[in-house]
Structure 1
Amino acid sequence: MIGGVIQGLIALNVESYVPRPYHATLLAMAVVAFAIIFNTVLAVRLPLIEGTVLILHVAGLFAVIIPLWVMAPRGNARDTLLVFTNSGGWPSTGLAALIGMTSIVGTLVGYDCSVHMSEEVKDASRTVPRTLLWSFIPNALMFLVMGVTYIFCIGDLDSVMNTAYGQPFIQVFFNATQSNAGTTVMVVIIIVMLTSAAIGEVATASRQLWSFARDEGLPGSTWLSKVSPGWNIPLRAVVVSFVVTSLLSLVNLGSSEALNAITSLGGTSILFSYFLTLSCLVWRRLFGAPLPPRPWSMGRYGIFVNVAALVFVTPMLFFYVWPLTTPVTPQNMNWSIVLFFGVLLVAAIHYLVKARHVYVGPVMLVKRVQ
C-alpha cells in the first residue's frame, strides 16, 4: 500500500513518470527496512517515537480535513449519504453494500496490535483492555469526521477512481487544492502515518511470531524463540518478519492478483480468529462454567457486547471471501478462501506430525505456573 501511495505522489509531481510494479516492490521493501531499524537499534526509543506519532496523527487529521472543508467542492447531502452506487454488477444494491463493506474492515484490525505486546506490559490484563478502549474511541470519532468529509468532497466518482495517480484520495486532494505543493503536503502526512503503522505492525508481528515459537507452535521454533544476548527484543523474529514481508512484496512482480489473494488471506484469517474466539466465548457464557475472575470485566453487559460483535463479524467473514465484481474471472476472483484452506491443511499436518507432541498453549502454561 505504501509503495503505491509513494508512486502516486511521484506521478503527481513528475508528469513523465511511468509506474512499474518493481517500483512499488522496492519502495515497500525500503519502508519495511525503515521499520526494522526502529524495531532493532532504535527499539528503546519506540515509546517516545509512538508518542510523537500520536501528536502527528491528531495534527495531521486537521491538516488534511481543513483544506478539504475550505477548498473542496462539496456534493449535496442527499446524493452523498443516500445514493448507493453498484459498480460491481451485483443483482441488488444491498448485496453490493455488504460486499463493499469488507473493503474497510481492515481499518478495524489495527486495534489488535496492542494485544500481542501484552507480555511486555505491566498489569497487562488491566492495561491492555484500557488501551484498546481509549485507542478506539478517539480514532472512531476521527475516522467518522474524515470519512464524512471525504465522501462529501469526492466529486465525480468515475474520474476519481480512474485517476492517473493510481490513488483516488490523491486525486480528491488535488481537486480540492488545485496545487501540487498543497496536495504533496497532504499526501506526505498520509505516508508518514502509514510508515508509522508499519513500525507498529513489525513490532506486533515479531512478538506474535516469537511467542508462538516459544510455545513450540511453529516449524523452527527452537531457533525462532531464542532471544539474542544483548538484545531485549526477539531479534530473530524481527528479521524473519522482514524477510517474509520482502518475499511477499516480490510476488507483485509476477502477479498482482496473487499478491491481492495473499493480502486478502490475512484479513480472512483475522476475521476467522475473531469468529472462533467470540463463538467460544458466547457459548461459554451461555452454557459453560462461569468465566474466571479478571481485572477487566463488563459484567452482565459482556454477553451483549460479545453477541453484537459476533453478529457483525459473521457476515463480514462470509462476504470477505467474495469477489468484488461480477462477472467473476480468474483475474478478479477472490482466491483467499483457497489459500485459507491450504494454510489450514498445512497447519493440520504440522500439528499431527510434530506440534501435538510439543506444543503447550499459553492457557496451560499459565495454569502450570500457578
Structure 2
Amino acid sequence: FSGYLIFVTAILLALVCLAAADTYEISRLFTFSNYSGETGGNVWPQTSGTWVFLLGLLLPIYTITGYDASAHTSEETVKAAHSVPRGMISSVLWAALFGYIMLCSFVLMIPDMDEAAKQGWNVFFWAMDAQVNPIIKDVLYLAIFVSQWLCGLATVTSVSRMIFAFSRDGGLPASKALSKVSPTYRTPVVAIWTGSILAVLFVWGSSLVSIGDTPVYTIVVSCTVIFLFFSFAIPITLGLFAWGTSKWDKMGPWNLGEGMFKLFAILSIVAMVLIFVLGIQPPNDWALYITVGFLIVTGIIWFAFENRRFRGPPIGDEVARRQAEIAAAEKAVGEA
C-alpha cells in the first residue's frame, strides 16, 4: 500500500504542478543559476556555481536510496541471487525517471525563479500557495503526509530488520535479546524498540548541536546519507581487495565480470568520498564530528570487546545448525 500510495502521490503532484504552471518555460530545465547565499535564502553559504550544484545533489542522493529495500527482504525473495540485484537496479532507474519528471514539473510551475530562490527552505510551500487551488493543495498535503509517515514506518521496519539479522548471527552487543522474536507478535520486539529509540535520540542529539539557522533536518540528512553509503561502500571496497583470493574466487550468478566489477568498485569508492565531502560542508559542519565520533566509538567497541566475541557469519555446518534452530523455533509457535 505504501509503495502504491507514494507512486500515485508523486504522479498526482507532478500533474498538478504541470496544470498549475502559468507557462512552460522549458529553458529553466537547462539554465544554471547560482542561488547560494542571500539569493537562495541562505540554504547554502555563498559559493561557486559548480560547488552549489554538487551540494544540491545531497537530497536526491538520499531520496533515491529505495534500492536497499530489495536487499533487506532478500531472505524472503524467490531466486534472490537474480531477483534482488534486478530489483535494486530497477529501483534506481524508475526512481531517477519519475523523480526527475516530478522535479521538472515543480520547476516549471514556479511563477518566478529568483523570487522562489529567496524563499529558501520554504520554496515548495510558497509555490504551492501561489499556484495551486487550496482544496487540491490540502488533499495533496494529506497524501504527502501519509506517504512520509509510511516512509518513516518502513525505515523503522528496515532498521529493526537489520538489527535482528545481525544479532541472529551474534554480530551486535546484546545479540541474544535483540534477536529474540516475540511468540505473540511474531516480530523482533526488542530490535524494533531499540531502533526506534536510537533514531529519536539521534535526532534529539543533533538538535543540541544545531547551530544558528541550520535546521536539524539537514544535519540528520547529511549524516544518514554518509552512513548509508558507507554501509555499501565498505563491503564493495573490501570485495575489491578480496576478489581473486581464497576468500572470494567465484562471482555470483548476477555479475558484471571481473573488469567491470573493478571499475564500478573504484567509481563507488570515488563517489563515497565525494558524498562524504559534500555531506560535511557548511552549514552541516557537525556532520563531520558526528560521523568521526561514531566511527571512533564503534572502533573502540570493536577492538576492545566485539572482535574477541564475534566469530563471523555462519558457514559450513554452522549454517545447518542455525537452520535447525530456526525450524524448531517456528514449530514451537505453530509457524512450521
TM-score band w.r.t. shorter chain: 0.7 to 0.9
Q: Which of residues 141, 149, 152 in structure 1 aligns to 2:105? A: 149
Question: What SS does the aligned partner of 1:73 have?
Answer: coil
1:103-148 per-position Cα deviation (integer Å, ceiling 9, x unaligned): 3211122321331232333443233212212323322211121122
Q: Which of residues 143, 153, 173 in structure 2 aligns to 1:189? A: 143
Equivalent residue number for residue 290 of structure 2: 339
Count residues with an aligned counterpart.
306
**Under a length normalisation based on structure 1, what TM-score does the superposition of the two structures give?**
0.72
Equivalent residue number for residue 280 of structure 1: 238
**Under a length normalisation based on structure 2, what TM-score does the superposition of the two structures give?**
0.79
Q: 1:232 to 1:291 in 2, by over 3 A?
A: farther
Equivalent residue number for residue 16 of structure 1: none
Equivalent residue number for residue 175 of structure 2: 221
Q: Which of residues 150, 173, 176 in structure 1 aligns to 2:128? A: 173
Letter in 1 for 2:152: A
Pairing 1:9-24 to 2, within 5 Å after superposition? none
Equivalent residue number for residue 320 of structure 1: 279
Q: Are 1:261 and 2:211 matched, yes or no? A: no
Measured in 2, the distance between the counterparts of 1:310 and 1:120 equals: 30
Equivalent residue number for residue 332 of structure 2: none
1:75-109 per-position Cα deviation (integer Å, ceiling 9, x unaligned): 63334422222414445221222222223211122
Asked if the contact 1:224–1:237 (Cα under 8 Å) also holds between the matched residues in 2, the reply is: yes
Measured in 2, the distance between the counterparts of 1:226 and 1:264 equals: 32
Q: Are 1:206 and 2:153 matched, yes or no? A: no
Equivalent residue number for residue 62 of structure 2: 106
Measured in 2, the distance between the counterparts of 1:148 and 1:220 equals: 48
Q: Which of residues 9, 13, 25 in structure 2 aligns to 1:76? A: 25
Letter in 1 for 2:75: E
Please list every run of 5 or more consecutive structure 2 residues that lacks an aligned counterpart in the other structure.
Answer: 37-43, 321-336
Measured in 2, the distance between the counterparts of 1:333 and 1:145 equals: 28
Question: What SS does the aligned partner of 1:96 have?
Answer: helix
Pairing 1:293-308 to 2, within 5 Å after superposition? 293-299=251-257, 301-308=260-267
Q: 1:230 to 1:123 in 2, by over 3 A?
A: farther
Measured in 2, the distance between the counterparts of 1:295 and 1:215 equals: 25
Asked if the contact 1:117–1:204 (Cα under 8 Å) also holds between the matched residues in 2, the reply is: no
Equivalent residue number for residue 238 of structure 1: 192
Asked if the contact 2:116–2:127 (Cα under 8 Å) also holds between the matched residues in 1, the reply is: yes
Larger CA deviation: 111-120 vs 202-211: 111-120
Asked if the contact 1:282–1:303 (Cα under 8 Å) also holds between the matched residues in 2, the reply is: yes
Equivalent residue number for residue 13 of structure 2: 64
Larger CA deviation: 251-260 vs 55-64: 251-260
Q: Are 1:292 and 2:239 matched, yes or no? A: no
Asked if the contact 1:113–1:201 (Cα under 8 Å) also holds between the matched residues in 2, the reply is: no
1:237-282 per-position Cα deviation (integer Å, ceiling 9, x unaligned): 1122222233345457756449443443222222223332333334
Measured in 2, the distance between the counterparts of 1:298 and 1:270 equals: 23
Asked if the contact 1:262–1:339 (Cα under 8 Å) also holds between the matched residues in 2, the reply is: no
Asked if the contact 2:71–2:84 (Cα under 8 Å) also holds between the matched residues in 1, the reply is: yes
Measured in 1, the distance between the counterparts of 2:275 and 2:240 equals: 18
Q: Are 1:130 and 2:86 matched, yes or no? A: yes
In angstroms, what is the RMSD of aligned CA positions? Answer: 2.9
Q: Are 1:96 and 2:52 matched, yes or no? A: yes
Q: 1:107 to 1:263 in 2, by over 3 A?
A: closer
TM-superposed deviation, 1:293: 4.0
Q: Which of residues 315, 322, 325 in structure 2 aligns to 1:366? A: 315
Letter in 1 for 2:137: T
Asked if the contact 2:280–2:288 (Cα under 8 Å) also holds between the matched residues in 1, the reply is: yes
Measured in 1, the distance between the counterparts of 2:170 and 2:285 equals: 32
Asked if the contact 1:209–1:237 (Cα under 8 Å) also holds between the matched residues in 2, the reply is: yes
Q: 1:89 to 1:167 in 2, by over 3 A?
A: closer
Larger CA deviation: 54-63 vs 146-155: 54-63
1:9-45 per-position Cα deviation (integer Å, ceiling 9, x unaligned): xxxxxxxxxxxxxxxxxxxxxxxxxxxxxxxxxxxxx
Question: What SS does the aligned partner of 1:230 have?
Answer: coil
Asked if the contact 2:160–2:195 (Cα under 8 Å) also holds between the matched residues in 1, the reply is: yes
Please list every run of 5 or more consecutive structure 1 residues that lacks an aligned counterpart in the other structure.
Answer: 1-51, 324-331
Equivalent residue number for residue 9 of structure 1: none
Question: What SS does the aligned partner of 1:242 have?
Answer: helix
1:121-178 per-position Cα deviation (integer Å, ceiling 9, x unaligned): 34432332122123233222111211221222233345445659x642222222222x
1:30-62 per-position Cα deviation (integer Å, ceiling 9, x unaligned): xxxxxxxxxxxxxxxxxxxxxx33333333233
TM-superposed deviation, 1:184: 0.9
Asked if the contact 1:72–1:153 (Cα under 8 Å) also holds between the matched residues in 2, the reply is: yes
TM-superposed deviation, 1:185: 1.4
Letter in 2 for 1:132: M
Asked if the contact 2:181–2:189 (Cα under 8 Å) also holds between the matched residues in 1, the reply is: yes
Question: What SS does the aligned partner of 1:272 have?
Answer: helix
